[in-house]
């Protein structure tokens, strides 16, 4: 099982999710750590191939977790946020893209 590695403020952002969304996110991330797909996800090729988004829905709204699992060392959680509109905001995409670029630079890939 791969370890989880949270980038930037992603862990504190996840902790701000309502309890039910946090619990579901934990379950979905555990599936990814075990090499399985999350229940509801989509590729985020606009950030980079291999980056994916977990979609969480509960009574408090829609929540997203952007991560990359293609590296051997860990599952890297790039960004966690509550989605307010149909389209993912440019700010959220930019945060995830910057964290991905920083990660690739650090890993030397």
Q: Which CATH number characterizes residue 87's domain? A: 3.30.2310.20
Neighbours of 99 (CB within 10 A): 23
pTM, to two decimals: 0.95
The residue segments making up the domain with residue 100 are 4-107
How many folded domains does the chain comprise?
1
pLDDT of 80 reads 98
* CA 51 to the chain's CA centroid: 8
DSSP readout, 11-57?
HHHHHTS-HHHHHHHHHHHHHHHTTPPPSSEEE-TTT-TTEEEEEEE
pLDDT of 77 reads 98
pLDDT of 51 reads 98
Q: What is the pLDDT along the chain (109 residues), one digit of tens a residue?
A: 999 999 999 999 999 999 999 999 999 999 999 999 999 999 999 999 999 999 999 999 999 999 999 999 999 999 999 998 989 999 999 999 999 999 999 998 6
pLDDT of 83 reads 94
């Amino acid at each position: 099982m791969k370890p989880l590695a949270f980038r930037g403020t992603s862990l504190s952002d996840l902790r701000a999710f309502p309890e039910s969304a946090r619990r579901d996110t934990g379950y979905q991330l555990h599936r990814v750590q075990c090499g399985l797909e999350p229940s509801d996800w989509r590729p985020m090729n606009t950030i980079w191939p291999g980056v994916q988004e977990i979609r969480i829905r509960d009574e408090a709204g829609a929540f997203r977790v952007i991560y990359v699992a293609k590296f051997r060392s860990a599952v890297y959680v790039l960004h966690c946020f509550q989605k307010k509109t149909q389209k993912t905001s440019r700010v959220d995409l930019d945060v995830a893209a910057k964290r991905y670029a920083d990660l690739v630079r650090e890993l030397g890939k």
